[in-house]
Amino acid sequence: MRKLLYLTFSMALLAALTTYAMWAADRPVGHYLSDLRINLAVDQGTPADRGNLLGIQPELFPTDYQSPERLHRKLAAYLQAARDQGLLNGKTVVVLPEHVGTWLMVSGEKDELYQASTLKEAMNWLAVSNPLKFAKALISAEGGNRLDDAHLRMKAKAMARDYQALFGGLAREFHVTLVAGSIVLPEPSIIDGTLKIGRGALYNSSVVFNNDGLPIGQPQRQMHPFFAEQNGVKANAEHSLNVVDTPAGKLGVLIGHDSWYPENYLRLNDQSVQLVAVPAFVPGRGTWEQPWRGYRGSSEPASVNLKPGEVSEGQAWQRLTLTTRVPASQAVAGMSVFLRGQFWDQGSAGHSFLSRNGQQFADGNAQGARLLNLWL
């Protein structure tokens, strides 16, 4: 009798595990409906032979990341709209926002994930649908929140591959230099022209691709991620700033809050940087108009006198981002581009803006996808 019960239990367990494995492996592709329109919000300067900075502020949603092909379709539609308006040439430098690559973590998942009502629920589906990958990532997770670390780490190899294929492919397809926003990966590096991951800490990093679709230099790692200990993203301890040569001039990339630190501009000045790209992201719907909350756990520069609550979040970004303010920055032009959209219950804020000759030009209406162009 005991053997019969044991056999029955074993068979039931095997059937349950087999059913679960089949369910986890099934990845049906649902219908895709997304707005591919984009408006030219800011257009400054006069076309010449020196090229231009072109910011793309996309409006993205989880279903846009259901596959790299879907994300390519949307971003390519934006770039095609820019081409149709005469905004692309061999010297164009395109800037995409922070974390535009990070959400590749949800690519190729089950419909239940995209239909979730909250980010927490979506991440639960991510773990349940990839049990072995999640368990392996959880073992090697670091930082104060091991679950967040594991969610970001579990598909890192595929994310790095898709990131380079997608954004390098767009740069080659439209023959532009492309600052590919940012992506969170463990110990990212370029080895023999390929973006590779390591086994160490997570870094929020940006890669620049040339108009042949190849990465230029090494990934720029963020130096001042907010709440680094809580979300597992580590600060770049080397505090190195990579400068790359583009057809439009020397380019430096400051990811997000790195643009709030005056010493970063001085270091870019030392390398004769002419263009500054700032991929950025502000979470929370309506945050742009709310009181600025300061540096929030990150080190505060001694030269910054701005106090929390004195201005709005948006005013703080525009005052602290010194892309062309002599003598702090001697760059010819700079551009800050924000990620917009809705990821489950997580909204976004941020109005992209550009700078030239000490003047800032902002997009006053952040609804929908936006193009910002600056002729050099």
Task: Locate all alpha helices (DSSP H) within 154-242, ordered by sequence.
Answer: 156-163, 169-174, 228-231
Residue 252 forms beta bridges with which residues? 243, 276
- Residue 224 scores a pLDDT above 80: yes
As a residue count, the chain comes to: 376
C-alpha to C-alpha distance for 71 and 75, rounded to whole angstroms: 6
Q: What is the pLDDT of residue 227?
A: 54
pLDDT digits (tens, 9 = 90+) for 69-116: 999 999 999 999 999 999 999 999 999 999 999 999 999 999 999 999
C-alpha to C-alpha distance for 94 and 56, rounded to whole angstroms: 7
**SS3 for 288?**
helix
**SS3 for 46?**
coil
**Both tokens of residue 54?**
């072109």
**Both tokens of residue 196?**
């590779």
Q: What is the pLDDT of residue 33?
A: 63
Domain at 37-375, CATH from 3.40.50.300, 3.40.50.2300, 2.40.50.100, 3.60.110.10: 3.60.110.10
- Residue 14 scores a pLDDT above 50: no
- Residue 22 scores a pLDDT above 80: no
Q: What is the pLDDT of residue 368?
A: 87
pLDDT band at 366 (very low <50, low <70, confident <90, very high): low
pLDDT digits (tens, 9 = 90+) for 132-153: 998 998 988 887 788 889 999 9
- Find, among 374, 375, 370, the residue nearest to 96 by Cα: 370
pTM: 0.91
- Residue 364 scores a pLDDT above 80: no
- Find, among 374, 338, 339, the residue nearest to 71 by Cα: 339
Residue 223, CA distances (Å) to 178, 206, 260, 261 in order: 21, 12, 11, 10
* Residues contacting 74, CB < 8 A, separation 6+: 34, 36, 58, 60, 64
pLDDT digits (tens, 9 = 90+) for 186-219: 999 999 999 999 988 999 999 999 999 999 999 9
pLDDT band at 155 (very low <50, low <70, confident <90, very high): very high
Q: Averaged over 327-337, what is the pLDDT?
A: 94
C-alpha to C-alpha distance for 72 and 171, rounded to whole angstroms: 11
Least confident of 170-184, 244-258, 304-318: 304-318
Q: Where are the domains of the chain?
A: 37-375
Q: Containing H/E element for 178?
A: strand 177-179
Q: Containing H/E element for 68?
A: helix 68-84
C-alpha to C-alpha distance for 272 and 11, rounded to whole angstroms: 70
Pair 328, 262: CB distance under 8 Å? yes
C-alpha to C-alpha distance for 136 and 171, rounded to whole angstroms: 34
Q: What percent of the chain has pLDDT over 90?
A: 72
**Both tokens of residue 22?**
């089949």
Residue 348 forms beta bridges with which residues? 283
pLDDT digits (tens, 9 = 90+) for 245-299: 999 999 999 999 999 999 999 999 999 999 999 999 999 888 999 999 988 767 7
Highest mean pLDDT among 22-31, 228-237, 363-372 belongs to 363-372
323 or 299, which is more confident: 323
Q: What is the pLDDT of residue 326?
A: 86
C-alpha to C-alpha distance for 77 and 58, rounded to whole angstroms: 11
Q: What percent of the chain has pLDDT over 70?
A: 89
Q: What is the pLDDT of residue 18?
A: 45
Residue 347, CA distances (Å) to 72, 119, 139, 281, 343 in order: 22, 11, 31, 11, 6
C-alpha to C-alpha distance for 334 and 324, rounded to whole angstroms: 6
- Residue 16 scores a pLDDT above 70: no
pLDDT band at 242 (very low <50, low <70, confident <90, very high): very high
**Both tokens of residue 100?**
């535009």
